[in-house]
Each structure stands twice: as C-alpha cells, then as structure tokens.
Amino acid sequence: MGSRGRAITTPAVVAITLTCLLTLLLAYLNKARCAGAPFESSGRSLVFDRIKDSTVCYSDIQFLWLDRGIDQHLFPYIGGAITDGQLTGGTVEYPVLSGLLMWFGGIGANTDAQFLMHSALILLPFGLATAWMLGRLAGWPALLWAASPPLVLYGFHNWELPVVAASTAAVFVVARYERVPLRTRGVVAAVLLALGLCLKIYPGAFLLPLIAYVYTGGRGGRELPVTATGRRDPRGALAVTAAAVGTVVAVNLPFALAGYQGWRASFTFQSVREADITTNSIWYWGLRPLFTSTEGPDSTYAQVVSVASPALVLAAFALALWLGHRRYRRDGTYPWVAVSAAMLCGFMELHKVHSPQYTLWLLPFLVLLRVPWSLVGAYLVADLAVGIGVFRYFDALYTGTDATALEFVVQAGVWGRAALLLALFFLFLRAPLRLEPPPPEPDEAEPPPPTPERAPVPVRALAADPR
C-alpha cells in the first residue's frame, strides 16, 4: 500500500524497477567514459587521469583498481596493514563485506575498465532491489530513487548500493510483514542492519531506534507478544540486540582472526583521515580557515576535528533518539524510521568526511517520509553543485586555471546542503511515513461524529412501566 487504502499495483512497481534499470545503465555509461584502451602496464586506462575531473566521470571504483591489491587479486585484509597512513597488502578502507565485493569485482579483471564493469554487474541487483522495495512501500514517489540525478552520478561511483539495499530491506521487513510477530521482524531487520554495518558502518546507528520500536511494542504498542508483561518487551529488545551483535561478530571474526593487522587497518585509516579538500565537509570549508595562517594550516585543526566531529555526531544521535521518545509519548508509536533518518542527517552534517555519494544513503528516507517536495528539490540542486562542481574545481586547481567561480559553486553546494540537512533533521522527526495516511489539514479535519440521539421509547413500553 502506498498509503492506507490506496493500492500500489504490480505494473507500477515493475515500471519503477525498469526505470531504475535504465538509470543505472546511464550511470554505468557515465563512468565508463573514463575507462578503456589504451592501458598502462598496470591496467590503468590512459584516459582516466586526463578527463576524470574535467568531464566528471571519476569513480572510486576505477581509482581503487590500483594500490589496494585488487589488480593483484589479493584476498582482502588477511595480509594487509597500514604504514604512514597508506594501506598495503590487500586491505581496503571499508568494512569487510565491501572489501569482499571489491575482491569479487576484481576476479577475472586485468584492467580498470573490466573491474568497473564487473563491479557494476555485482552492484546492479542491489540498486534494482532498492527500487522494488521502495515501490512496494511508497508507490510512485520511489521514482525519486529510480530516476534521480544522484543515481546517475553515484550509482557506480563507490560501493553504496548494497548498503542502501540493506537498510531499505530492514524497513521493508518491519513495515510489510505485519502478520509476522514483531520480535521476528525485528530480529530479521537487525540482521539486515548489521550486514549494512559490515558494508559501510552507518546503518549500525539505526539499530538503536529499531530496538526502541520493538521494546515499546511496535505500532501503537499493539504488537507486544502475549508473553510480555506490562507495556514493554525487554526480551524482544534483547533478541534484536543479540541478533545484531551476533551478525557483526560472525562476519568480522574470521577476518580478525586470520589477519588482525589488516582487518584493523581499515578502521585505523578512517580514524586518521583528515578533513581535507577531498572531504566536502563543513569542517574543511568552515573551521579550517580559522586555523590557517600565511604559514599554512595549523595542526591544531586536525586535532579539533578529530574530537569535535565524533562528539557532535553522538550528540545528534542522542537528540534524535530523545525527540523520537517525545513523539512516542505523544503518538504511542516509536518513530524508528524517522529517528533513523534524522540520525543519518546528523552523521552526514557533522562527520569529517561527506563524500558526494552519501546522497544515495538519504534518498530512501526522502521517499519513505513525507517531507516537502520543494525541500527535496532544493537538496538535489545543492547536491548537483557539489557532485559536479567539486570535480570541475579539482580540474581547475590541477590545470592552474581560474577556480574562483567553481569554488563558489562548491561552497554554495556544501553550505546549502548543510542547511537543508539541518532542516531535514527536525522535519524527519515530525514526518509520517508515506505508507501511512497523511494527517488531515486543519481546515480539512473531519468533524466529530454527531452525538447519537436517544431512540424514542414506544408508548406501549411506557404504559407497561410500573413507575
């Protein structure tokens, strides 16, 4: 149901999914402009470095063909390490499931063009699955995922499609299978979010609102198991927690035992990464100038960011959870999807790195939650300013041409996106799901039902009354 009482037809969902297929084809063709013969001896396309920024066909997939052991077909993490901030021996900077996908994409590839194509084929089903699930949940608004510019720009920019599919699937399981006990749905959703954590970390934050949703009995508190005493389900919350922890341990433990240094190096790499010009963050464009003098940037900048960024992200998470609890106290249902969306906004806003492809993380929530379409459109415009402008800006810096106008475009995109994320943080926490009916407008609110009139008492009954 797209909203209660309005059916989403199978042909509509199929049309949405096929539209997504066409969009992903355009996404591949866009990135493939950077790949192809002639090649260097390493398998790198000669054209890559020449046009990757000027024509905006750069992708991390093609870039990471070298320097991560993919071209050597090294199994990830096991023999890896980090030295002076550089990864070696097959370690990549992402959690283990993303590393496995990268390794699979490299099997049989001898050039970056083949690696890009193999990776696209691996990622394609996840993008289509996301379109199908969003179509089933929200109907035609799912075209925001299936036919949007971000999917063209970033569909095969990095390995984002599997993690987006995992987080969307968690919502899908909880929302679509209401006949299944909430504890069971919660456990399955927790496993999916934990797998997402093992792909790109951020879905792990959504486990907290999911646990709260199960603990408070789901929709209106009416989904408590018969064995639960009172108005809470601590056993269900514990089961969800255990499922998530067990999944993360089961996925990571083999790698940690077989090659601890290589496994740990991926986390070390992210922790020591600085908020530099490649991060597109408010820290670089807002805070760095305060620590920069004629002699260059002050090392204090990196130290401040390394403390302030995670502290503020955690504060944003706590605020979202608290505001979600306030809404639960008012409405009777803990808004776990809305809280998850707000937590994501907080992370994207305050994390020291804000890669352009993170927009793909946000799109499903813009589909699932009723926020103004004008705000969605404004966000897409700001995203285009960053997603296109930043690469043109890099090209201008590299070639020594005037970058003033392009720097303005990038900064407008960064600060516009930041302002919109702040607005979305609070709007998400008030927004209903699209699979629920929107609240009536004040002037369209249904009038209260008329007070029923007392039925007339038959005269015969009055005559028979001994009073």
Model confidence pLDDT, tens digit, residues 2-55: 344 456 889 999 999 999 999 999 999 999 999 999 999 999 999 999 999 999
Q: 205: closest CA among 235, 170, 157, 253? A: 170
Give the per-residue pLDDT at 320: 98
Report phi then psi at 39, rounded to 5. -120, 155
Supply the mean pLDDT for the chain.
91
pLDDT given at position 226: 85
C-beta of residue 321 within 8 angstroms of C-beta of residue 208 = yes
Query: Mean pLDDT over residues 261-274, rounded?
Result: 93
**CA angle at residue 175 from 181 to 132, to 5 degrees?**
130
Does the structure show a pLDDT above 60 at 458?
Answer: no
Q: Please state, in angstroms and rounded to a whole number, the distance separating the CA atoms of residues 431 and 421.
A: 15
Given a cut of 90, whether residue 455 has pLDDT beyond it is no
Q: What integer pLDDT is reported at residue 444 of this predicted model?
A: 44
Lowest mean pLDDT among 165-174, 287-296, 348-357: 287-296
Measured distance CA(344)–CA(341) in Å, rounded: 5
Q: Domain boundaries in the chain?
A: 10-285+303-437
The neighbouring-strand residues paired with 296 are 293
The closest alpha carbon to 104, from 92, 122, 125, 77, belongs to 122
